[in-house]
Structure 1
Amino acid sequence: MSDHEGSLAEPAFPGDDGLTDPALAPVLGDTSATLARLGEARVFVPIVAVLGERASDGSDKNADMAAVLMAGADGRQALLAFTSVATLEAWNPQARPVPVYGQAAAQSAVAEGASALILDLGQPHWSVVETDDLRHLAAGDTLAHTPTGTAWVRATE
């Protein structure tokens, strides 16, 4: 269970202005620093309407809302997430922004069988979190800087 779980009656981000999370804004473009802060930062996962079956007269029979998974040329899938409502709307103005912590976005990607999370697709600072980094982010691990590079650290209870 994540530290970020709440109830539907209590919004996780009251008064959210839709701007890039202040903890994340200064590090965008720096892959390591972004990865170190992403789990605790608020991001937006786009939800889009997906048409279901059509009635015989051609009208929509039903529609569902779904998070967006993109498939790469190699067949691997990635969940999209954006740092602000503006970056999400630049990608698709019809998508509904759903605010979540970066860790929850990574957990959703893993649960959907995706091997990556693409952050801010179409923006100059876009980045990809994939494979082991995605699993560590989903698990709530912390990326630490060491004298020899970076390493994922798991909190113990």
Structure 2
Amino acid sequence: MPEPHHQRTLADTPFPGDDGQADPQIRDRLAAVGSDPESYLRAIAALCTVRLLVPVVATTTVEGRTEAGLTSDKEAEMAVVLLQTADGRKAMVAFTGLDALAAWNSEARPVPVTLDLAAGSARQEAAEALLIDVGTSHPLAVDGQLLDQLAAGHRLVELPDGGFGWAVPADRDQPG
């Protein structure tokens, strides 16, 4: 029987029944993004309503040497994936489904999150952009003020008049 201090409790998933498949309507929205800003904003608003998968990979934190002189991983941790351009700018990646994530990197493990949480993680990692479905036929980049608003926990919504606005969560620490 495991010792009590080695037992872990995992939180319930916020996405019960999720099988990792992409929502076909989301992929349609990504495919519909053109040069007009409205199609881009519609895609972002749609992404605010679904689960995304942020890939994490194992990274070695401490290496060791065997008696035979071989290098081994003594300690490793899981880290989000960051891409870096030649000029040093960084971007974090997220995917709409397991198929796109596995095609991009079959070794990565998916962490299900909402767009605002992915944006917040990107900013915590000092990334300037969040790349959605990189390596597919319809990738999407989220950056600048839009990324900042999402990272603050706001969600983009399409208004009945065709415009867009921000849904801002109520402060849970404030009464009523």
3-state SS, counterpart of residue 103 of structure 1:
helix
Counterpart Cα distance in 2 of 1:55 and 1:125? 42
Q: Is 1:34 paired with 2:48? A: no
CA contact under 8 A between 1:141 and 1:155: conserved in structure 2? yes
Of the structure 1 ranges 51-60 and 84-93, higher mean CA displacement relative to structure 2 is found in 51-60
Which segments of structure 1 move beyond 6 Å, counting only runs of 4 or more?
none
**Residue of structure 2 equivalent to 1:128:** 141
Counterpart Cα distance in 2 of 1:51 and 1:37? 36
Q: 1:25 aligns with which of 24, 27, 34?
A: 27
1:66 Cα deviation (Å)?
A: 0.5
Higher CA-based Rg = 2
Counterpart Cα distance in 1 of 2:11 and 2:151? 24
Instruction: Extract unaligned runs of 5+ from structure 2.
Output: 1-8, 34-39, 171-176
Tell me the matched-pair count: 150
Identity level (%)? 41
TM-score, normalising length from structure 2? 0.75
Deviation track 1:14-53 (CA, whole Å, cap 9, x = no partner) reads: 1111111355233112222211122221010001011222
Q: 1:16 aligns with which of 15, 18, 40?
A: 18
TM-score, normalising length from structure 1? 0.83
**Residue of structure 2 equivalent to 1:3:** none
> What do you get for the CA RMSD once the two structures are aligned?
2.3
| Change in CA separation of 1:152 and 1:71 when aligned onto 2, cut-off 3 Å | farther
Counterpart Cα distance in 2 of 1:16 and 1:108? 21
**Residue of structure 2 equivalent to 1:66:** 79
Counterpart Cα distance in 2 of 1:127 and 1:153? 20
Q: Is 1:93 paired with 2:95? A: no
Counterpart Cα distance in 1 of 2:166 and 2:113? 22
Deviation track 1:77-122 (CA, whole Å, cap 9, x = no partner) reads: 1111001000000000011011111111111111221111001110
CA contact under 8 A between 1:40 and 1:103: conserved in structure 2? no
